[in-house]
A and B are shown apart, each in its own frame.
Chain A
Amino acid sequence: MNHQELSVVGRRLPRVDALSKVTGEAKYDSDIQLSGMLHGRILRSPYPHARILRIDTGKVEKLSGVKAVITGEDTPKIQYGLLVHDEQVLALGKVRYVGDEVAAVAATDEDIAEEAINLIQVDYEILPAVFTPEKALQPGAPVIHEENPSNLAAQFHVETGNVEAGFREADVILEKRFTIESVSQAVMGPFGCVANFDSSGRLNMWMSSMDLFSHRIGLSQVMNMPIGKINLIRNYCGGAQGGKNLMEPIYPICAFLAQKAGKPVRLYKNREEDFIAGRPRPACTIDSKVGIKRDGTIVARQTKIVQDTGGHAGFSPIHILAYTRGDNLYRIKNSKTDAKAVYTNKTPGGAYRGFGSPESLFAFNSMIDMLAEEIGMDPLDIQLKNGARPGTISPHGWKIGSCGLTECLGKVAAETNWRERRSRKIPGRGIGLACQIHASDMRYWRGFMGSVTFVKILEDGKVLVNTGENEYGQGIETVEAQIVAEVLGIPLEDVRIMEASTDTAPFSIGPVASRGTISGGMAAKLAAEDARDQLFKLASEMMESNPGDLEMRSGKIYVKGSPERFVTIAEVAQFSQSREGGSAIIGKGIDRRDTDYVFVCPPPGKDQKRPVQTCVHFGNPSSAYFFSAHVVEVEVDTETGKVKVLRIVQADDLGKAINPMMAEGQTEGGTVQGMGFSLAEELRRDSKGRVLNASFLDYKPPTTMDVPEIKVIHVESNEPLGPFGAKGLGESSQNCSGGAMANAIYHAIGIRITSLPITPEKILKALKEKSGLNQSSQKSSYR
């Protein structure tokens, strides 16, 4: 396809949802108000680890205005979780973190609900708690799940080549430990839902979710209800960032309250609850060992990752696999990675944009910088020498199709005058480089891992798109609308995205794992092409010509070469619908590319209740991979330890920008999140496992005052398997942030920080240690 001819795709057009969002018209899940709606509240555990001896709800039931009270005893004893089934709707027998759900009420207003949960009396037997994986794995450590006394929730191993032989070839071997703290997605839209049962017993829900279909499956299992009895209604979602894709307890709790009360219930976490009982990116420790030759060839790499999983591990087997995805950034022949997920008495971990790669690529991009110094080479050259190339097979067997990594590195280097700037020492100022790979869509299950879109042609020539994908700010509605408009040769204004629910929308995997554009976009393209073929067939009947001789432009179908012979799309749609035996024109698009990928997590054996999940994987998990490079320039105040980010230049290989303005905005946002992740954000806890900074004021996401100049460069590598050459993009930025920041800080002040976030305290401490070291080395003549 000649992209020069594109008229809608590739243009900086306003989003299709922008008008409704700037006027306050856009309806979010939390805007839903139903008549007679009750307000729910959850009673949460004040202890990190305790046995529940008794729950007395007697006083609550007598309180006027309370319509339902539920505890673990009122909900089915079904254990759920994506891969490890270790969670209940409400705690049964035990609580495992501060914030664990113990009981819930629904009342006629929020004040009564609040009063009611305070009247619930719970007798706890406090158990010893454990807050680090290291301690949790020690013999005699408190057991968090009795079914699995080891506290080891999952482990994953992946190996290519011969690491020992590889290290023997190395001229320099470096080993370093990296630690990464837990961070919250901290999105603006609150987390929760409104649930209502109709008189036939069907559950209707409006929820803050990235994806409705996976939640329909989850609710069906936990509530023991058939899929057909659950309808999840799509609304705008106030941001997700990966944090709204798990079946968290709040949804079934709300549904059970609504069922018991016989009335609609609204249940949302307040901001504090979101910080203490969300599903944050969990902390982890990464031990990295890398061997390199003097010519810059990386010959071996060994990585050990331990995740601090928290009280539940449903998601962990995938998460620890995800840490290893960054391994594929380089063409390394000998590579071995082991990852473990370990239970602790902390908030269970979840997904946050980048999912594993912000952590692992912080470690690896830092290692490259350190190795560069060891062998006296520019880190840019090491990245260029070892980085992924088009048409290669990665260490894990990924088939790298389009790959603009070399171009991304070249562009950020040129834009920042990298080599010259790096060789020039300016006191307190430094420049750092990092790059990343990410999978465009992870198709890790057997069976359908794709997306479906329907396109309806209306009698006035306008077009409705019914997509299975959800909009949470990332822009999938606009991407699909632009693609449909392009295929049908009509302006973007003529395409509208339909309101939908799980009843009406076609089943899709949902916009997780950066798959919206490549999978949803492809489904939209196929649906529009199907509709176009139907239009051509009908138009050929109307104009008595061959469908192959027709072309589409500006809402009209022409006989090629005869500008006077045309029918409008509206006329064809009317003809189709009004003739004998006719019908509306509906195009159907299915993106159903399956991969040869295998991810195995064996189910529990017969004699074991819940053993450690030992997972392996092989094959190519994704249709395409996207790449980026960042150069960050910082200024470090050595008096206060404060890092000021001066400028960020990033190049993103996104295949093709369907909408360059949106693509820039998406990664600019990710880059600013990455600044927070790298320099400031962490969920801090006291010695009793309580989160100390459970508010925006104390957690401190970046504000307008923190943001530097950000320049985004698009590298269009034209992915053959993507719609109009496009692939994923959304999760790129944070993958580069940690490494680029740490490297820039090192360049500025010669201090290597291997622990995120790089706070002023850590910098000052390291500066102090370094100056102590300098003094002692001056004394001892040799160092």
Chain B
Amino acid sequence: MGKKNIELLVNGECYEIPILSSWTLLEVLREKIGLTGTKESCDMGECGCCTVLIDGKPVRSCLILAVEAQGTEITTIEGLRNRDGKLHPVQEAFINYGAVQCGFCTPGMVLASKALLDEKPSPTETEIRRALAGHLCRCTGYTKVFEAVEAVASANKRGL
């Protein structure tokens, strides 16, 4: 089986990688580029742990092939801080509201929350629940995650 070079734009950096066309974006991110912040849990699109942003939209990286992600802008959890290293408000809120326990679902939850807030800066509680419905967490019971996202939403509402 021959490998083929593809180019992926991840967190603003361009990677040229020889891959097999059968490799998922998740495999390539974790095992070829070494961005292990994207987590692999079910590998079937059921848990949300491997979520990354593709052109700003949350996508399960285990469900798309790396070749399909060419020509897009991919953001993983490692790329969420701004250039000065400042945390994204969602990251800050997850820390301050205790939304992190084992942390395995956290990268996916944070990215999905960011995507929601980009689209809708002050979502309702139901909108938050819906946006995160595909993200399983066995530790937090989700309550502190809601609090964290609501805190950012309410800061957005106040124009902070």
Contacts and interface: CB of A to CB of B under 8 A. Distances in A.
Given A12-B98, A473-B103, A185 B138 contact: yes
A673 B98 contact: no
Contacts of A240: 102
B77 A23 contact: yes
A236 B103 contact: yes
B81 to A, nearest CB: 7
Interface string B108-144: 0010000000000000000011101111111111111
A22 interface: yes
A668 B134 CA distance: 19
Contacts of A668: 140-141, 143-144
Interface residues on A, range: 35 or more
Contacts of B37: 23-25
Contacts of B42: 271, 695-696
B44 A695 contact: yes
* Majority-rule SS of B interface residues: loop
Interface in A230-245: 236-241
A238 B102 contact: yes
B138 A665 contact: no
B58 interface: no
A472 B102 contact: yes
Interface in A6-41: 12, 14-15, 17-19, 21-28, 30-31, 33
A4 interface: no
Interface string B80-102: 11000001000100111111111
Contacts of A672: 141-143
B152 to A, nearest CB: 13
Contacts of B61: none
Contacts, number: 174
A423 interface: no
A671 to B, nearest CB: 6
A19 to B, nearest CB: 6
A251 to B, nearest CB: 19
Interface of B: 30-31, 34-44, 46-47, 49, 76-78, 80-81, 87, 91, 94-107, 110, 128-130, 132-146
Contacts of A702: 141
A704 B132 contact: yes
Interface stretch (A48-56, A159-167, A187-195, A526-534): A187-195
Given A24-B38, A271-B44, A707 B102 contact: no
Interface of A: 12, 14-15, 17-19, 21-28, 30-31, 33, 185-190, 236-241, 270-271, 472-475, 661-662, 664-666, 668-673, 695-697, 701-705, 707, 710
Contacts of A21: 100, 103, 106
21 contacts: A14-B95, A15-B98, A22-B94, A23-B91, A26-B103, A31-B30, A188-B47, A188-B136, A190-B40, A190-B41, A237-B102, A238-B104, A239-B101, A270-B43, A473-B139, A669-B139, A669-B140, A695-B42, A697-B46, A704-B130, A704-B135
Contacts of B106: 21-22
A695 B38 contact: no
Contacts of A187: 102, 104, 138
A307 B97 CA distance: 40
B43 A705 contact: no
Nearest to A674: B141
B96 to A, nearest CB: 6
Contact of A188 (B94, B105, B132): B105
B94 A18 contact: yes
Contacts of A696: 42, 44, 46-47, 136
Contacts of A14: 95-96, 98
A19 B44 CA distance: 28
Contacts of B101: 239, 473-475, 665-666, 669
Contacts of A666: 101, 139
B125 to A, nearest CB: 10
B32 to A, nearest CB: 10
A703 B141 contact: no
B153 to A, nearest CB: 15
Given A19-B95, A661-B144, 20 more contacts: A17-B100, A22-B110, A23-B80, A25-B37, A31-B30, A31-B36, A33-B36, A188-B104, A236-B103, A238-B104, A240-B102, A271-B42, A473-B104, A668-B141, A669-B101, A695-B44, A696-B42, A696-B136, A701-B136, A704-B133
A23 B88 CA distance: 10
A662 B101 CA distance: 8
A710 B141 contact: yes
B91 A707 contact: no
A31 B139 CA distance: 20
Of the candidates B80, B100, B134, the one having the most CB atoms from chain A within 10 angstroms of its own CB is B100
**What are the 8 A-B residue pairs with the smallest beta carbon separation, nearest first?**
A24-B37, A473-B102, A21-B103, A672-B141, A238-B104, A24-B77, A31-B36, A473-B101
Nearest to B20: A111
Given A236-B103, A473-B103, A669 B141 contact: yes
B102 A188 contact: yes
Contact of B87 (A22, A236, A472): A22
A673 B43 contact: no
A271 B41 contact: yes
Contacts of A186: 138
B13 to A, nearest CB: 15
Of the candidates A24, A472, A671, the one having the most CB atoms from chain B within 10 angstroms of its own CB is A24
B16 to A, nearest CB: 20
Nearest to B104: A238
A15 B98 CA distance: 7
A705 B133 contact: yes
Contact of B102 (A12, A239, A673): A239
Of the candidates B30, B129, B134, B142, the one having the most CB atoms from chain A within 10 angstroms of its own CB is B142
B98 A669 contact: no
Nearest to A236: B103
A24 B141 contact: no
B43 A703 contact: no
A471 to B, nearest CB: 8
Nearest to B34: A33
B102 A236 contact: yes
Contacts of A662: 98
B80 A661 contact: no
A624 B110 CA distance: 38
A237 B39 CA distance: 12
Contacts of A33: 31, 34, 36
